[in-house]
Amino acid sequence: MSLTYPESIGVGLLQGVTELFPVSSLGHSILIPALIGGSVQKDLNVTAASSPYLSVLVGLHLATALALVLFFRKDWVRVVRGLFSSIRERRIETSEQRLAWLLIVGTIPVGLVGLVAEKALRDALGKPVVAAVFLALNGFVLLGADRLRRGGGGRRRAGAQVAHTPGADPAIESDRRLARLSFRQGTWIGAAQILALLPGISRSGVTMSTGILRGLNHEDAARFSFLLATPVIGAAAVLKMPELLKPENAGIRGPLLVGSLCAFVAGYVSVKFLTKYFEDRSLTPFAVYCMLAGIGSAVYLSM
């Protein structure tokens, strides 16, 4: 099996967009090759033992994580500063310190489950029809979160748009609002990422939905989701990076480099768009897309 440059560019752009949009990167990585068929389906089979596709996805995830780090670099400087000051002073008082520990406690559950169950779930459920069903389910989750919030089902009723203080940094304001979450709430929101181990369920989608139901507005829920995703995506990629160094993967390193560049650019553009989009818009368009794409793919692939 091989990986062509067009295939690498395609999956790079796909990964960079679908990892951050609430539509499931793993689900699309399984479904798109199956829908195209032919040599593309053969080369890009996530469950095939001899396919280079899984190793390629590892590199693409790292590129997406780097795009998130670059975009939120000022936030991460504040988070790291807050973590070290908290450890040094043995207290958790400032918003920077609280946000740092919220991200840590929110990352632990998915990290532990991912280490134990990620491969088993991928092998057992990494089938196109299964991914299509979960993609449709992802749409219902997104739609349900929006409807419950509008109906007052969340912890706090408020409009989707936040009134920013004139002259203040919106990013700092958002981080301060996030820091008001309790550690229990932060753990629940972070633990929602476990569902993203199921192909078709979006990491950003389930964390945003959980955040919205715990009282966050769409803007803050998206921001917290992206901050939570960064260490998880990056750590998973680094842990699997030795696979790319195996001799049998030497032939895909050129296409992988090109694909990673595409994933980095697509990821950066996507997060820039989405942070602006969720200032005054909802999850509903993504929910409708997931339901239609999931149901349509399941029907087509079952024929």
Residue pLDDT, tens place only, 37-57 = 988 888 788 777 666 687 788
* 101-120 pLDDT per residue, tens: 999 999 999 999 988 888 78
Contact indicator for 197, 186 with CB cutoff of 8 Å: no
Q: Flag whether pLDDT at 274 surpasses 90.
A: yes
pLDDT in tens, 171-183: 999 999 999 999 9
170/172 Cα distance (integer angstroms): 6
Q: Which residue has the tokens 């929110």?
A: 106
Say what the pTM is: 0.91
- Give me the pLDDT at residue 50, please: 63
- The pLDDT of residue 42 is 83
Mean pLDDT (the chain, rounded): 90
pLDDT above 60 (res 98): yes
Give the DSSP per-residue string, 46-103.
TT-TT-SHHHHHHHHHHHHHHHHHHHTHHHHHHHHHHHHHHHHHT---SHHHHHHHHH
* Position 158 pLDDT exceeds 50: no
Determine the pLDDT at residue 172. Answer: 93
